[in-house]
Structure 1
Amino acid sequence: MTRALLSAILTATALACALPAVAQPASDPAADPVAKAQAEKDRRAESLRAIETALQASTESRAKLEREVAEIKGDGARLNQALIDAARKAQEAEDRISELEARLQTMAGSETALRRSLEARRGVIAEVLAALQRMGRRPPPAVLVRPEDVLAAIRTSMLLGAVVPELQGEAETLAGDLAELVRLRGLIAADQETLRGDIKGWAAERQRLTALIAARQSRLGEAESGLSAERERATGLAGQARSLKDLVDRLDGDLANARRAAGAAKEAAEAETRETRERFAAAALRDPARLAPKVPFAQVRGLVPRPVSGEVVRTFGSPDGSGGTSRGISLMTRPRGVVSSPADGWVAYAGAFRSYGRLLIINAGDGYYLLLAGMDQINVEVGQFVLAGEPVAVMGDMGSAPSAGAGGRNDPVLYVEFKKDGGSIDPDPWWAKGSSEKVRG
């Protein structure tokens, strides 16, 4: 074999075993903090670019959406159901996107390992290709860039007996690895196409959700006068509160004071029900389909839908990183993920609160309060009645710091806490185990 031929074959095998650019890190991110940070930055930038591109809906699609929203705006029940359906579809799309990204990451790792293994055996590939050339069967030019053609050449050489016995085992292993590489590349290409479609569908659903939320808030504006005093009262309490527990206690205490001022003399349960209806009477103007929770919160244990699509990165009772224990759970979400209400209830507080950032407190009745914190935007107002599964907020683009529990990713994190009669309770037993069991709307 001439020196030029050997050089050409080695170059060919290096190109043939090359990975798609998207799956080839320049270095091992785990061993290089700078490379790891850059990889995370690139991943986020690529994800956001894809989302922004997908959000560029056509004029025709936007007009169709506006007509749909205008048609149902006057029907509270239809509008509520449309909101719940849109939030569910957006969160399901977020689940699919996350699963596809994890699958692609796993396959990219396998592909990288195969590429390195093949790189280490370039000599075997060179011998096989040289044997074919000696037999007068020159490999086609395409072998320089396609692993499929390298695989075909090796299989041909084995069938023709061109491989010397000492290399037969190596050639068989090589053929198996190349076949797996070809299979992985096909799966990756298919998943990448599916991912692009899911991102496009998610963006369209988010656009529909945004329009529906705007319609809901516009409809609520008709009863705005009945809410202004309620919002001012909640804001005043937040300013006086020294802690999150203090805020919830004050909200709860304010209910008791209002009941006493009204001269209520019945049992506590009846008084709370009546006061709740009086306090949020304005909700009747906004949601004629439902004025109170469909069932008591205590009865939906094991059926409550999680408010976001994401993974738990901190559990109830685990160390909170500040020397104490967590009174709730933390869920790492996708950038701009949709946050929905876990249960029917009235918005008791919505706004910024100390280190919690944006905080949403939902009064689910019977002494239960559901706290959500860490969102970028809240789409509901104090006094508003919301349904289980109804969109109430949106997450930001990133978290405040990378999470060790999620591979160092810096995705946004939602904090969720359940309270009963002023004390924190573990929310885990309340979550639905499967999507078919979730109580929405």
Structure 2
Amino acid sequence: MMLRPVLALAIALFATGAAAAQDDPGKAASAAARQLERAAQSLDAAATARDRVRALTETVQAYEAGLAAMREGMRRAATREATLSRRLAAREQDVARLIGVLQVIETAPPPVLLLHPSGPLGSARSAMMLADVTPGLNAQAAELRRDVEEVRTLRTLQANAADTLQSALAGIQQARTNLSQAVAERTDLPRRFTEDPVRTAILLGSTETLDAFASGLSEMADTPIPETEADISADKGALPLPVQGVLLHRARQADAAGIRRAGMIVATRPRALVTSPTAATIRYRGPLLDLGNVVILEPQRDTLFVFSGLAEVFGEAGEVVPAGSPVGLMGGQTPENGAILSLSSDGTGTDHSETLYIEVRQGGAPVDPETWFQTDKDG
């Protein structure tokens, strides 16, 4: 697995470029390293298809966390380098004068330093002044040396980032491919019902809204779907988001086009992994209306989690998936090295180019997803 070089470089970038940060973002890289180690051990010990899917899911998540840590480290390192470079440029004249004074002190013959035209008293005064000034000059010189050395170190780390990123991107792509194959081969999940493709096609063709489709989900099976006894009410408000990303729009919050939706929108990076936040039944997966690929999960009776905007969807309708199971991948293209390196320095989140729409429905009506999912409500 090629994540370890990424994490090592991320930690180095953090340590060098973010020492003044109030938090310790290097912990994210360390946590990703531990997660990858656990995933590797789980993959080696996997005895069933379900175990393999779980281990590969954790592998992909570890790669995502590690790459995110590296991007943040590179951004902070680039910011730090720019700050130091501006500081050195602004002090260019001071630096030139300082170097000149230090060279004179260093190269002048000792007798010249000790003699003064006004005699012994002047020489004594000069020596006292020199004793007072020299420590300050040495301190300035030491500070400049530290700044120059830090800039040199940051540039070396950033130069090495391209090769490291190339290896990591290849690693996560292979992990995603392996995960897709493992999900396709998984046959050991319990099933609540078997989907009838004809009934599903009829339902898709006869509905024009998500409301209508959700209310007709029970028509997708050729036999009555047994009620679930699952109850996740104790987890209400504490469920993790199904994807690594940032909250873009809350429920009923107008977007740039003035459109208000019943659910919330999370911005993600291309090809981000989407997982089930809790154990749930897959009630539907596939294209739906103008929502793109959709996954509808039922974690408990009369409650539906709707995720739309995916490029790939995993699993089959009727399967009961455990918490953390992969249900799909976001779309988009993973940016090339150069794009990632340039994006890492702006800190604007422009690498979160994909969006996942999350809607929660209870009793047939949408509710605010933030009553279920843990988000930064003050953001």
Task: Give the TM interval when normalised to the shorter protein.
Answer: 0.5 to 0.7
Name which of 146, 165, 176 aligns with 1:179.
146
Instruction: Please give the alpha-carbon distance, in whole angstroms, between the structure 1 residues aligned to 2:357 and 2:102.
Output: 63
SS at match of 1:376: strand
Q: Does 2:260 match 1:318?
A: no
SS at match of 2:66: helix
Distance 1:298 1:431, change over 3 A: same
Equivalent in the alignment of 2:174: 207
| Count of aligned residue pairs for this structure pair | 305
Identical residues among aligned pairs (%): 22
Which consecutive residues of structure 2, in runs of 5 or more, have no partner in the other structure?
1-39, 109-128, 335-346
Instruction: Please give the alpha-carbon distance, in whole angstroms, between the structure 2 residues aligned to 1:433 and 1:407.
Output: 17
Name which of 340, 345, 348 aligns with 2:275.
340
Name which of 200, 205, 208 aligns with 1:234.
200
Distance 1:352 1:221, change over 3 A: farther
Query: Which amino acid is 1:420 matched to?
Result: Q
Distance 1:308 1:194, change over 3 A: farther
The CA deviation string for residues 342-367 of structure 1, in whole angstroms up to 9 with x for no partner, is 22222222222233221111122311
Equivalent in the alignment of 1:365: 300
Within-5 A mapping of 1:107-122: 107-122=77-92
Root mean square deviation of aligned Cα: 4.5
Which consecutive residues of structure 1, in runs of 5 or more, have no partner in the other structure?
1-63, 139-160, 263-274, 279-291, 400-404, 435-441
SS at match of 1:125: helix
Q: Does 2:361 match 1:419?
A: yes
Query: Which amino acid is 1:247 matched to?
Result: F
Shift of 1:112: 0.6
Contact 2:60–2:172 (8 Å) recurs in 1:
yes
Query: Which amino acid is 2:236 matched to?
Result: R
Shift of 1:222: 12
Instruction: Please give the alpha-carbon distance, in whole angstroms, between the structure 2 residues aligned to 1:199 and 1:347.
Output: 35
Name which of 256, 264, 289 aligns with 1:354.
289
Q: Which is richer in helix? A: 1
Distance 1:363 1:129, change over 3 A: same
Shift of 1:122: 1.6
The CA deviation string for residues 276-328 of structure 1, in whole angstroms up to 9 with x for no partner, is 249xxxxxxxxxxxxx77x4233432442321112212222322344343322
Shift of 1:429: 3.6
**More deviation, 114-123/321-330:** 321-330
SS at match of 2:283: strand
Q: Does 2:185 match 1:218?
A: yes
SS at match of 1:95: helix
Q: Does 2:319 match 1:384?
A: yes
Q: Does 2:22 match 1:87?
A: no
SS at match of 2:304: strand
SS at match of 1:312: strand
Query: Which amino acid is 2:65 matched to?
Result: D
Contact 1:230–1:383 (8 Å) recurs in 2:
no
For normalisation by structure 2, the TM-score amounts to: 0.64
For normalisation by structure 1, the TM-score amounts to: 0.56
Equivalent in the alignment of 1:26: none
SS at match of 1:354: coil
Instruction: Please give the alpha-carbon distance, in whole angstroms, between the structure 2 residues aligned to 1:199 and 1:172.
Output: 41
Q: Does 2:207 match 1:250?
A: no
Q: Does 2:73 match 1:103?
A: yes
Contact 1:131–1:162 (8 Å) recurs in 2:
no
